[in-house]
Amino acid sequence: MAVFDKKILIFLVVASGVFLSTLDSSMVNIALPSIMAEFQAPLHKTEWVVMSYLLTTSSTLLFWGHLSDRLGRSRFYGLGLFLFGLGSAGCAFATSLNMLISARFFQALGAAMMMANGPAIIRQTFAPEKLGRSMGFIGIPVSLGLMSGPVLGGYLIEFFSWRALFFLSLWASLCFAVLSQFILPPTPARQPAKNRYDWPGAMLWTFLLVTASISLTHAFSAQISPLWAGALFCCVIAGLLLFIRVESRAEEPVLPLSFLKKRFFTIGFVSALLSFLLLFFVLILIPFYLNLVLGLSASRIGLIMTTIPLSAMVAAPVAGWLSDSVGAKILSTLGLGFSTIGLLLLAFLSPETQPAGVAWRLVFLGLGQAIFLSPNSASVLARMGEKNSGTAAALLATARNLGMMLGVGLAGLFFSFFFRQITGGVELKDYSMAHAGAFCLALRSSFLLVSVVGLGAVVLSWQRPVFISAKVGSDADIKE
């Protein structure tokens, strides 16, 4: 019984970190309008509150996984909780937008440590026959964080301040960091692998993500000259070419390019990236519409945004059940189709649209995400074989993070460009009700433009090979 209780406690500590990081992310999206208003910052700078977090997790996730394998997973998970709390304190006491963005960097370092080690700790704790069930239960704190974040965040912002979000994360993460030192099992350090870690690839990967993110958020900024924008773009292209060259020669590459030569994996990888791009494009812009154009309170905005995770939670079990019989090709394509329809419907929001009219449109995004995600992941992992499944899962997680980053970056890029063009150079921080029509027109142009990306994702997903169950689990599956 004591062993059973110990395993439950280990699971709860790991789940708490997952819940906190998910809760924090979903709350911060709701807080962006309030943060922009307090610091009087333009949209392309305000969105770095989200972008810096995603950029840091994407660029350090694989590094922490490698380092914790050598030095012990439990200590890094506890350190991740502590760093997350330290970053939350910095966010809560930030006196400038730059300070807030810097503090989000430390938050993201902690979150990446938890993301890299949580599943591994669960895997070493539970017997193989119970592993699937235990990993499945990790989805519960994810869903709870996504669902409760907008509502809780909305009420905290309305009745206190956006800083209250980070005070909550601060005390909760520090409490769980202390508990982790007593509950998580010690994991022995192991000897370094024969092949060295791909440091050149990791550094180039970080360089590529940073330059691409800056290019996305500043390409059409009024504060940057076309010459600098062109130089940034050239850096991205040069970094990409050099990264491909280095990774093709590395013994243990950060991004195994050989996987991308397999059609089913490439389609699954790119589809996952595009799916999260579409989702985060909406998650960034709709709270601004609800706040500035409709004049809703933060608590009501949170309730409306909960429509997405709530509809996803309802549809996900059905999608998983249908996946085995219908197949990933149909379901994944259908899910991307639902998301694209949602974007097209959101393109026609107006100053007269009722909050309920926004909510039912967001349902399409939640349904699309749920219908797409499980079949797409299962179809890729089932065909990769046992020895490649871990790397494939990490790459799919990387695709999702990249999609989130691109969604945030493109949302700010497209909307800021169209809004300035329509208003003659007005920044969103200087918005007044006289700009409501211009806001909706810029929103329409942005959503219609990204809908083209959604249609491309639908076409791409339909090109995936038909899943053949007889091949599942064979390492030969990856040889097409």
Widest CA span in the chain = 69
CA atoms of 354 and 286, how far apart (whole Å): 13
Range of the domain at 101: 1-184
Of 65, 30, 6, the closest CA to residue 286 belongs to 30
pLDDT of residue 37: 86
DSSP calls for 115-144: HHHHHHHHHHHS-HHHHHHHHHHTHHHHHH
φ and ψ at 115, to 5 degrees? -65, -35
> Token match 């235990």: residue?
134
CA atoms of 354 and 319, how far apart (whole Å): 30
Identify the domain boundary among 141, 162, 184.
184
pLDDT of residue 51: 84
pLDDT of residue 218: 64
Percentages (nearest 5) of helix, strand, coil residues in the chain: 85, 0, 15
Amino acid at 61: L
Let me know if residue 256 belongs to a domain.
Answer: no
Amino acid at 477: D
CA atoms of 93 and 176, how far apart (whole Å): 21
pLDDT of residue 88: 92
Mean pLDDT of the residues in the chain: 79
pLDDT of the chain along its 480 residues, tens only?
A: 455 567 778 777 777 877 888 788 778 888 888 898 898 888 878 888 888 888 888 778 777 766 766 666 677 788 888 899 999 999 999 999 999 999 999 998 888 888 777 766 766 666 555 545 555 566 667 767 777 788 888 888 888 888 998 998 898 888 888 887 777 777 665 555 555 667 787 788 888 887 777 777 666 555 566 677 677 778 878 888 888 888 778 777 777 777 777 777 888 888 888 998 999 899 889 999 998 899 888 888 888 988 888 888 788 777 767 766 777 788 888 899 999 999 999 999 999 999 999 999 999 998 898 888 777 877 776 676 555 555 666 677 778 888 888 888 888 888 988 988 888 877 777 777 888 889 999 999 999 999 999 999 999 888 877 654 434 444 444 444
Let me know if residue 366 belongs to a domain.
Answer: yes
Calculate the alpha carbon distances from 418 to 295, 381, 427 in Å. 21, 40, 11
CA atoms of 430 and 407, how far apart (whole Å): 24
Query: What angle do the packed helices 436-462 and 328-346 form, to 10 degrees?
Result: 170
Looking at the structure, do residues 399 and 332 belong to the same domain, yes or no?
A: yes
Using DSSP, state whether 18 is helix, strand or coil: helix
Looking at the structure, do residues 230 and 293 belong to the same domain, yes or no?
A: no
Let me know if residue 189 belongs to a domain.
Answer: no
Looking at the structure, do residues 140 and 270 belong to the same domain, yes or no?
A: no
Amino acid at 316: A
> Number of structural domains, the chain?
3
Looking at the structure, do residues 131 and 214 belong to the same domain, yes or no?
A: no
* pLDDT digit string, tens, across residues 181-202: 777 777 665 555 555 667 787 7
* pLDDT digit string, tens, across residues 363-397: 999 889 888 877 787 777 667 655 555 566 667 77
Q: What is the reported pTM? A: 0.80
Looking at the structure, do residues 144 and 207 belong to the same domain, yes or no?
A: no
Looking at the structure, do residues 379 and 266 belong to the same domain, yes or no?
A: yes
CA atoms of 259 and 262, how far apart (whole Å): 6
Using DSSP, state whether 385 is helix, strand or coil: coil
Q: Residue 102 is part of a domain; what is its CATH number?
A: 1.20.1250.20
Looking at the structure, do residues 268 and 126 belong to the same domain, yes or no?
A: no
CA atoms of 52 and 224, how far apart (whole Å): 20
CA atoms within 13 A on the CB side of 213: 25
* pLDDT digit string, tens, across residues 193-245: 555 667 787 788 888 887 777 777 666 555 566 677 677 778 878 888 888 88
CA atoms of 270 and 256, how far apart (whole Å): 15
Of 336, 320, 21, 327, the closest CA to residue 149 belongs to 21
